[in-house]
Amino acid sequence: MSGRSSPSGGSLAPYLQVAPLAFLMITMVGIPLLTVVLLSFWEFDGIAVYPAFTWANYKEVLSSPVTLSLFLSTLKYALMTLIATTVVGFTCSYFLVFHVRDLRVQIALFLLCTIPFWTSNVIRMVSWIPFLGREGLFNSLLMQAGIIDQPLDILLYSDFAVVLTYIHLFTLFMIVPIFNSMAKINPNLIEAARDAGASGWQILWGVIVPLSKTGIALGSIFVVTLVMGDFFVVRVMSGGQSASVVSAMKNNIDQLYYPVASAMAVLLIIVVLLMVTAILRVVDIRSELAR
Amino acid sequence: MSQSTTNRRGAAFYLLATFFALFVIFLYGPMLMIFILSFQGPTGGLTFPMRGVSTHWFHDLWTSSRYGDLGGAFRRSLVLGGLSLAITAVVCLFAGLAFRRRFWGAGPIFYLSIVSLVVPGILLGLGISQLFQLLGLRLAWWLSGLGAHLSWTLPFGLLIMFAVLNRFDGSWEEAARDAGASPRQVLSYVTVPILFPGLIAVALFGFTLSYDEMPRSLLTVGAKNTLPIEISNMTTNVTTPALYAIGTVTSAVSFLVIATAFITIAIVQKRRARAKGKSA
Amino acid sequence: MTEQSRIDIRSVTKLYGAVRAVNDVDLTIDGGAYCCMIGPSGCGKTTLLRMIAGHETPTSGTISIGGEDMTTVRTGSRGTALMFQNYALFPHLSLTDNVAFSLRVNGVAASERRDKAREMLDRVQLLHLADRVPSELSGGQQQRVALARALITNPKVLLLDEPLSALDEFLRLRMRVELKRLQNQLGITFIHVTHTQPEAIALADQVVVMDHGVVEQAASPRTIYNRPHSPYVARFMGGQNVLTGTVQSAGAEGTVVESKDGNLYDLPPIEGAKPGDTANFSVRRDRIQISDTKGDGRNCTEGTVVNIEYQGTFVKLALETGTREEFIVYLDDDAYYAAPKAVGDKVHASWAPKVNHILVGANNSTGTPYED
């Protein structure tokens, strides 16, 4: 792949090859997003939507005290999930890459971590219900062990349940990129650091963490955007007690308040893009992907 | 390929191994539990203890009318998954090949794909459904629904394709052209066969991501629901182990697809590298 | 065979954006010749090769094979076959299918192409591995498969892109012999791109030395080695010391050049040279004597020994003479060990006037001098 063009391919070839993707991306992503932006400026009279140009939807969203608390609670979920998934993802990847010696075992264990990705998120979320409920396995275990007398209510339908489900669903989005970054680290670097007299911790902080930065950043983008985009887990697992920006948006949509929902959506996209840009500022992911 | 430098396992190894094992239990434990609970006896509830073992709740799924059009939803999800699989594999193959060269518009298309990954699914669903409404088109699972699914599967497929093509040597294609192969022959005799294991991975993503997709489908499938939407409705309405039974069924389908993909890849790889370890 | 495998390259230029990878090249390669193109990386030799193969199209100019204009003819139907640097063997096909590939795309029946491929594999002594896949072969075996795959098309011209660079030293020397023998048998044109000077000298009927997209010199290996065209060629091919001086007197009987340190050199006549001009010339390293006493100040130089290397059949002495380049002398080992030198010794080097060779070309770049 020397970047040289070949005559038999012709200079038209890449355009023909990319045309289906470009068409689908433009019609199913580009134009729909523009539609949302457009809609956020339209008028709604309680029954139907009318073409117009008004800032009223934004004023309504921004002047509502609920909006700020929604964003704050969404950010809180995102941050808690991010910290937990980073710690878990880094530890698991570190174990796989630097402590599992047989490459085949390493790949097998890695796949073990990624297989749930190909199964239903809804089901994986549901699967916590028999575990966390009042009569769930966790409570009965704790009661049998004599640690508690009364079943704990905070296990299910709480912020705890929401974040736990997020961690369960999204940790593998952290493991995959960090694992990839770590697998690219030349083992000789670790040897060299050891020869230079670095301790285990110094190698970890001085060599492995900096070289895994790209993976952590990529994983963070995935986790942050997934949490910020969720409405289902937060609704079900909090038992309807907590809300996120998107779940509030979903309520607006259900009540056909499309322009207001669109305005919220635009604000959310701006916040998400700002966060992604901030992460990209720290680490240049494109150079990593190009490798 | 030993990465560790000491020959004796230290305490760190056992600590990390324990952590990893706990993580795997955390990952699979709850799922295992609902698989077990889906075989709950007819009088059993959503949690342990098991009141007998039966396939009552599976029968209940297909016979009872309480759960809506589960059969139809299941069928639609399989069809959508199959369509997404085929379209994702073909579109991403060609797009991946195109992105090896520089061309006008490469950047915007790549970033649009990334945006599609990053944007909340329901929001994109809102956009697609409103666009259809503005254009006066009816929402249908096989059109707007499929489009919404592709907006999710294609970017993933593209990223996988990039990774696959990283290990693809362009001189294979040149060698084929040098031997007189036409562009079509290069594609069918060289490019596709060599990329085949990677294409299976792309196809796997195409199917499973579509088959399990919910947020983007919600507003775009129109009057007829897909399976994940039906299931998510059940989470709030159904308080019997039938919920677990449908979970078991749909997960079994996923695992079947994953296993098929892995086995196919393994067979192709094995046939190609019979001499162990010679090709890294 | 010879006429139809002659290659004529006329005013060929290849631009990559603003970069002139190949700049207005004119070159004729005789049919049935073994041609080696050599130069530092980025000199345009591979681009030229790929244009002959049809993997690149010249920005301007024409390329003819056997007198037929092939400039824009599709690769695969111009009678050339290219052997890739990394061999580019198809990883998913057995050796038989690899070799039979061009027959397959040309619609030859399965049984026939199988027989032909096995015949070809037999020729490169790999028939016993016919059902293996490339990843199961050693580097040398892969190279022979690549050769078989290229030759099954009965090409008029075989193009080899650094064919030996991936092999270890021992195998490289053996394959070099095999390539030469094969070319003799087939009688077709071989064009072989390399960056290794001894490889080019040993194999080629015609050596093409390139630099910055331009052909510096195209000639027989003896001419290239003994009568380099420019200081660049002399340095790049090795075996020569390049000296510079100012013309003192010029005439039909010869030219006298004076170096910075006042030594005089008797050179053959230089056309159009006037006193005061700068002249470059070269002196073969193995035609030089050294002594401890100063001579007559003609065709000689003085320097301090900075390095001594025993090379087996000769001794290589490096002298610091106050110029940019070290002055290298190859001495017969018996003669040297009769009166050995030590680093730091001051010695006088001298040679016969006929050893002086004028470097006409202007390219005075260092290139990547070859040290043997």
Q: Which of B48, B13, B18 is nearest to B33 (CA)?
A: B48
Q: What mean pLDDT comes out for the span A179-189?
A: 88
Spatial distance between the Cα atoms of C330 and C243, rounded to a whole number of angstroms? 17
Within 13 Å and on the Cβ side, how many CA atoms surround C15? 5
Positions of E strands within C261-364 = 264-267, 278-284, 289-291, 300-310, 314-320, 327-332, 346-350, 357-358
B101/A123 CB distance under 8 A: no
DSSP character string of A51-76: ----SHHHHHHHH-HHHHHHHHHHHH
- Which chains share 3+ C-beta pairs under 8 angstroms with C? A, B
Domains and CATH numbers, chain A: 65-290 (1.10.3720.10)
pLDDT of res. A10: 54
Q: B279 to chain C: which residues are within 8 Å by CB? A: 91, 135
Query: What's the CATH code, domain C3-226?
Result: 3.40.50.300
Of A36, A123, A231, which is closest to B250 when you measure between CB atoms? A123
- Which chains share 3+ C-beta pairs under 8 angstroms with B? A, C
pLDDT at A3 over 70: no
pLDDT tens for residues C315-328?
A: 999 999 888 889 99
Task: Tell me which residue has tokens 């050893």.
Answer: C355
pLDDT at B273 over 80: no
Q: A32 to chain B: which residues are within 8 Å by CB? A: 124, 126-128, 130-131
Distance of CA B228 to the CA centre of its chain: 13
pLDDT of res. C181: 92
Nearest CA in chain C to B274: C136
pLDDT at C347 over 80: yes
Sign of the CA dihedral running C293, C299, C305, C311: negative
Count CB-CB contacts under 10 A for residue C168: 10
Q: A4 to chain C: which residues are within 8 Å by CB? A: 16, 50, 55-56
Q: Which of A221, A228, A234 is nearest to A283 (CA)?
A: A221
Lowest mean pLDDT among A18-22, A118-122, A152-156, C192-196: A152-156
Query: For an interface test with A, which of B101, B172, B238, B265 has the most A Cβ atoms less than 10 Å from its Cβ?
Result: B101
Bigger pLDDT: B199 vs A148: B199
Task: Tell me which residue has tokens 């002196």.
Answer: C283
pLDDT tens for residues A152-168?
A: 877 888 889 999 999 99
List, in order, residues 6 or more apart from B43 with CB less than 8 Å away: B51, B52
pLDDT at B42 over 90: no
Q: Is A277 on the interface with C (CB under 8 A)?
A: no
Nearest CA in chain A to B240: A130
pLDDT of res. A288: 60
CATH superfamily for B69-237 is MetI-like (1.10.3720.10)
Nearest CA in chain A to C21: A4
Q: What mean pLDDT comes out for the span C328-339?
A: 89
pLDDT of res. B274: 57
Tell me what percent of the residues of chain B surpass a pLDDT of 70: 94
pLDDT of res. B62: 81
pLDDT at C135 over 80: yes
Count CB-CB contacts under 10 A for residue A279: 17
pLDDT of res. C199: 92
The secondary structure element, H or E, covering residue B162 is helix B146-166
Arithmetic mean of pLDDT over chain A:
86
Q: Is C62 on the interface with B (CB under 8 A)?
A: no
pLDDT tens for residues B2-24?
A: 444 445 677 888 999 999 999 99
C101/B179 CB distance under 8 A: yes
Which residues is C317 bridged to in the sheet?
C308, C329
pLDDT at A85 over 80: yes
pLDDT of res. A289: 57
pLDDT tens for residues C112-134?
A: 999 999 999 998 899 999 999 89
pLDDT of res. A4: 41
pLDDT of res. C371: 47
pLDDT of res. C184: 92
A7/C16 CB distance under 8 A: no
In the structure encoding, which two tokens stand for residue C239, read together?
């075996």
Which residues is B122 bridged to in the sheet?
none
- Work out the pLDDT band at C110, boundaries 50, 70, 90: very high
Sign of the CA dihedral running B178, B183, B185, B189: positive
- Work out the pLDDT band at C1, boundaries 50, 70, 90: low
Q: What mean pLDDT comes out for the span B173-198?
A: 94
pLDDT at B34 over 90: no
pLDDT of res. A287: 63
Q: What mean pLDDT comes out for the span B167-191?
A: 93
How far is the alpha carbon of B144 from chain C, nearest alpha carbon, in Å? 39
CA triple C336-C339-C344, angle to 5 deg: 90
pLDDT of res. C254: 87
Q: What mean pLDDT comes out for the span B68-83?
A: 92
Which residues is B185 bridged to in the sheet?
none
How far is the alpha carbon of C120 from chain B, nearest alpha carbon, in Å? 15
Taking a C-beta distance cutoff of 8 angstroms, is the pair B226, B13 a contact?
A: no
pLDDT of res. A2: 37
pLDDT of res. B276: 37
Domain ranges for chain C: 3-226, 231-358
**ipTM above 0.85 for this complex:** yes
pLDDT tens for residues A24-64?
A: 999 999 999 999 999 999 888 777 777 888 888 898 888 88
pLDDT of res. A205: 87
Nearest CA in chain A to B172: A1
Lowest mean pLDDT among A54-58, B249-253, C32-36, C294-298: C294-298
Q: What mean pLDDT comes out for the span C299-320?
A: 92
Spatial distance between the Cα atoms of B179 and B194, rounded to a whole number of angstroms? 17
A6/C74 CB distance under 8 A: no
How far is the alpha carbon of A105 from chain C, nearest alpha carbon, in Å? 23
Nearest CA in chain A to C74: A8
pLDDT of res. B4: 44
How far is the alpha carbon of B96 from chain A, nearest alpha carbon, in Å? 8
pLDDT of res. A151: 80
Q: Which of C143, C207, C208, C138 is nearest to C179 (CA)?
A: C143
pLDDT at B49 over 80: no
What kind of fold does domain C231-358 have according to CATH? OB fold (Dihydrolipoamide Acetyltransferase, E2P) (2.40.50)
pLDDT of res. C161: 93
- Between B and C, how many residue pairs show a Cβ–Cβ distance under 8 A? 80
Tell me what percent of the residues of chain A surpass a pLDDT of 90: 34
pLDDT tens for residues C42-62?
A: 889 999 999 999 999 999 999
Strand pairing report for C240-251 and C254-258: antiparallel
Taking a C-beta distance cutoff of 8 angstroms, is the pair A182, A212 a contact?
A: yes
- Work out the pLDDT band at A285, boundaries 50, 70, 90: low
Of B177, B196, B278, which is closest to C75 when you measure between CB atoms? B177
pLDDT tens for residues C269-295?
A: 888 888 888 999 999 999 999 988 887
Arithmetic mean of pLDDT over chain B:
88
pLDDT at A291 over 60: no
How far is the alpha carbon of A4 from chain C, nearest alpha carbon, in Å? 8
Q: Is B25 on the interface with A (CB under 8 A)?
A: no
pLDDT tens for residues C72-93?
A: 898 888 899 999 988 999 999 9
Of C16, C50, C74, which is closest to A8 when you measure between CB atoms? C74
pLDDT of res. B184: 93
pLDDT tens for residues C189-237?
A: 999 999 889 999 999 999 999 999 999 999 999 999 999 999 999 999 9
pLDDT of res. C283: 94
Spatial distance between the Cα atoms of B226 and B228, rounded to a whole number of angstroms? 6
Arithmetic mean of pLDDT over chain C:
90
Of B90, B119, B247, which is closest to A33 when you measure between CB atoms? B119
Q: How far is CA A55 from CA A36, A43, A260, in A?
A: 14, 9, 10
pLDDT of res. A5: 40
Q: Which of C164, C25, C187 is nearest to C83 (CA)?
A: C164
Identity of the residue numbered C73: V
- Between A and C, how many residue pairs show a Cβ–Cβ distance under 8 A? 15
- Work out the pLDDT band at B46, boundaries 50, 70, 90: confident
Q: C106 to chain B: which residues are within 8 Å by CB? A: 180
